[in-house]
Structure 1
Amino acid sequence: MQSPYSSVYKKRSAAVQLPTAPNAFDFFLPCPRGVEAALADEVKALAEHSPTLRAGTPTPGGLPVQGSLTDAMRLNLHCRLPSRVLLLGGSCSYADAEDIYHLARDLAWEKWFDVTQALRVDVTAERSPLESIKFAALRVKDGICDRFRALTGERPDVDTAHPDVRIHLHLREADALLYLDTSGEPLFKRGWRSEHGAAPLKEHLAAGLLKLSGWTPGDVLFDPLCGSGTLVIEAAQMAAHRAPGLDRIFGFEALHGFDMDSWNAMREQARQAVQPVAPGQFFAADIDPVNVRMTLDNARRAGVDGAIAAQAGDVIAAIPPVDAAALPAGQAAWLISNPPYNERITPEGEAADDFAPQLARTLKQRFAGWHVALLAADLHWDKALRLKPRRRIVLFNGTIECRLMLIDMVAGSARG
């Protein structure tokens, strides 16, 4: 039977060469599904300070962006929501892995890195007809190495653990796209975390919860199930105007074409923009004292330790750290958390269906006037909670479908 792709594959499309114009690069910023629109807003805010930066139309799982190499550095430094900033090298239609090999061989990688630098090739796919996407990634490596061997007589090494250069292959139904990874390690690795809780929330998803909830950097935030402190640390850094990439190394620092003088000036400007955050705005608690210690240690490494008050305590017995009614006009009180559910750890000896209504009673009885945002991966969990959210937002924590439930706590908000 004739393949539905046969008409596409009669002739291989010419590869799109790596651009040479200084402001004509195409990028793709992958992000957790559900936060794409918020990522577009984040990029548009940066674009107000760069005439060359433009956000495209969000697609499921990411955002296309156009801009300069300076913009790529800016995106890596300041964006909280993407996992990477990928520079599009080229694309082609494909029938098999050999078409992808030719794409990789034809691109001018030598403009970006040397034969002495070690490579890593990663691959993702959506509805690709290839039997083995790993073999396609292997052929990308072969194409790059064969190009360098033809030019220099040598082949670059492959190092999957500590590469100098990361290449990303993305396969769609009918076309293959090759990207140069300007980020290096994923952007949710901010450079401050050395300790994790039992089921840590990645930093870019935590930032997504904060932005989608409606919380603003001037509002009070309390996470009574803080784990290793990711949510409160992200929030405190936002309030401090502390760029998320201020304390880490990026992939573009090992690539040609990126102006390191401009980068050093950009990073120093970001460092000078950091502002102190007064105590009394960010609060964290956890039933496990080890998690409280981790939160405070992580906050210290993240540069916001003085902004966060943390203590051990059971969320069911939680007391609001501030009186929401006494806050000045324009400042709101938020309880935002990633509570335990079937995908994580429930309190010892306690089923998720028992924990949810207990949490609801605590919220109703003690947190009147607060805004609440809870992330639930068990799609039945919000029913067990017996609170009526004003909004449910679908998000993905990796491959796990979740709901971000937004609840305004007023008297009588729990159903009996």
Structure 2
Amino acid sequence: MLAQELADLGAADIKPTAGGVAFAGPLTLCYRVNLESRIASRVLLRIAEGSYRDEQDVYDAAHAIRWQDWFTPQQRIKVKVSAHHCPLKSLDFVTLRVKDAVCDRFQYARGRRPSVDTHAPDMLIAVYLDSTQCTFYLDTSGEPLFKRGWRKSAGEAPIRENLAAGILRLANWTPDTLLYDPMCGSGTFVVEAALMARRVAPGIGRRFAFEKLLSYDPRPAEALRVELKEREIDGTPGLIHAADHSATALTSIGANLTIAGCSELVTLRQGDARQLLAPAETGLLVTNPPYGQRMGDSESLKAFYPQFGDHLKKHFCNWTVQIFTADMKLPGQLRLAPSRRVPLFNGAIECRLFEFRMVTGSPRKKRADGR
């Protein structure tokens, strides 16, 4: 999904990799992706790479980089090292050696060493090690891109904004299709959908780390912001619906929608997902249902899911249902057969996006006793 989005934004040499997507383009494309990507977590600028066998090789590779061409010693730094099949024993020690190399280079070139700030750095230096190669990046995003700025209230166990946007894209949702989340929580799906319907760039209201690079040119960046603001539209009310049994959740989503500037686009209802009728004859239902502590106890879940499945069969014919969950047994509990299951991760938690196509006489899984 991210590779497709980057192609839409004008990226070249797109290559999906483990945990990310590599792409090429001018620095102005870096600005655009940070501002417009709904799916990326952050944008890393690759500045150097080389082979290594031990920690000294990594130090030498880091020391050879002209860090002074990218930022000043007055800016605070943080080094983050990640690895896959790395033969070195301690990534903490590698992190220390890279930090030493960067500071030593500045001492040599500018006579001053940058300070380290692991909580709010001006520059995040990301280092990736595989079995033989070390690659150095500068983070151009700063705060992770899923932090759009609209979430005043998170509610319980919210999914990240970029994950919700990616799920909407996986579900092939478009703003002219009716969308309904019957267990909306803090409303991540519907807020992201409303922003998409209004063509609001997800990063339009925030700042980025690329603005602190020495190579940063504010003129194309500000021109891009103007272009994106001019692209925004009002959107069509009545096509996005959300519901939750909790009045507190609906208050939260109302606050979030107000901050996002999308209050008029989302119709809110309070009620039980097993009882609320479909808001239209057809559409897309997408939800991250409650589980565990959010439902109170496992006995409540055992009763909830079969009843919700029956409700879908009876009242949501001709709908497509997308359910995102960490519960791999969910289809059996709903007694519905999924037409597609997509592996996804919510942070470190492995999840599935189950698709169910609700048609008259939707397939229902038989119980062991044949009923």
TM-score range, shorter chain: over 0.9
Matched AA of 1:278 = T
* Structure 2: segments with no counterpart, 5+ residues: 367-371
Query: Residue in 1 aligned with 2:316?
Result: 367
- Cα displacement (A) at 1:57: 2.2
- Tell me the distance in 2 between the aligned counterparts of 1:271 and 1:59: 32
Matched AA of 2:198 = A
Matched AA of 1:46 = L
- Cα displacement (A) at 1:264: 0.6
8 Å CA contact 2:7–2:14 kept in 1: the answer is: no
* 1:59 and 2:8 are equivalent in the alignment: no
Give runs of aligned pairs for residues 385-400 of structure 1, distance below 5 A.
Answer: 385-400=334-349
* 1:356 and 2:305 are equivalent in the alignment: yes
Query: Residue in 2 aligned with 1:145?
Result: 103
1:109-156 deviation digits (Å, cap 9, x = unpaired): 111110000111122222222221122112111111111111122110
Matched AA of 1:251 = A
Secondary structure of 1:262's counterpart equals: helix
Question: Structure 1 pair 290/55, CA: closer, same or farther in 2 (3 Å)?
Answer: farther
Give runs of aligned pairs for residues 183-332 of structure 1, distance below 5 A.
Answer: 183-324=141-282
Query: Residue in 2 aligned with 1:334?
Result: 284
Matched AA of 1:393 = V
Give runs of aligned pairs for residues 78-117 of structure 1, distance below 5 A.
Answer: 78-117=36-75
- Cα displacement (A) at 1:212: 0.6
8 Å CA contact 1:207–1:231 kept in 2: the answer is: yes
8 Å CA contact 2:332–2:365 kept in 1: the answer is: no
- Cα displacement (A) at 1:349: 6.3
Query: Residue in 1 aligned with 2:360?
Result: 411
Secondary structure of 2:274's counterpart equals: helix
Query: Residue in 2 aligned with 1:46?
Result: 9
- Tell me the distance in 1 between the aligned counterparts of 2:130 and 2:16: 17
8 Å CA contact 1:353–1:381 kept in 2: the answer is: no
* 1:346 and 2:295 are equivalent in the alignment: yes
Query: Residue in 2 aligned with 1:30?
Result: none
- Cα displacement (A) at 1:405: 1.0
- Cα displacement (A) at 1:61: 1.5
Q: Relative to structure 2, which stretch is displaced further, 135-144 or 72-81?
A: 135-144
Matched AA of 2:66 = A
Count of matched residue positions in the alignment of Structure 1 and Structure 2 = 365
- Tell me the distance in 1 between the aligned counterparts of 2:58 and 2:140: 21
Matched AA of 1:195 = S
Query: Residue in 2 aligned with 1:165?
Result: 123
8 Å CA contact 1:289–1:311 kept in 2: the answer is: no
- Cα displacement (A) at 1:352: 3.3
8 Å CA contact 1:89–1:178 kept in 2: the answer is: yes
- Tell me the distance in 2 between the aligned counterparts of 1:317 and 1:130: 57
Question: Structure 1 pair 351/137, CA: closer, same or farther in 2 (3 Å)?
Answer: farther
- Tell me the distance in 2 between the aligned counterparts of 1:151 and 1:67: 29
8 Å CA contact 1:394–1:404 kept in 2: the answer is: yes
8 Å CA contact 2:148–2:206 kept in 1: the answer is: yes
- Cα displacement (A) at 1:374: 0.5
* Structure 1: segments with no counterpart, 5+ residues: 1-37, 48-52, 325-332
- Tell me the distance in 1 between the aligned counterparts of 2:18 and 2:291: 26
- Tell me the distance in 2 between the aligned counterparts of 1:315 and 1:55: 45
Secondary structure of 1:124's counterpart equals: strand
Secondary structure of 1:317's counterpart equals: coil
Matched AA of 1:252 = F
8 Å CA contact 1:280–1:307 kept in 2: the answer is: yes
- Cα displacement (A) at 1:96: 2.1
- Tell me the distance in 1 between the aligned counterparts of 2:298 and 2:130: 46
- Cα displacement (A) at 1:348: 5.1
Q: CA RMSD in A?
A: 1.5
8 Å CA contact 1:376–1:382 kept in 2: the answer is: no
Matched AA of 2:258 = R
8 Å CA contact 1:76–1:187 kept in 2: the answer is: yes
Matched AA of 1:43 = L
- Cα displacement (A) at 1:334: 0.7
- Tell me the distance in 2 between the aligned counterparts of 1:347 and 1:315: 16
Matched AA of 1:366 = H
Give TM-score scaled by structure 1 length.
0.84
Matched AA of 2:143 = E
8 Å CA contact 1:44–1:55 kept in 2: the answer is: no
8 Å CA contact 1:55–1:63 kept in 2: the answer is: no
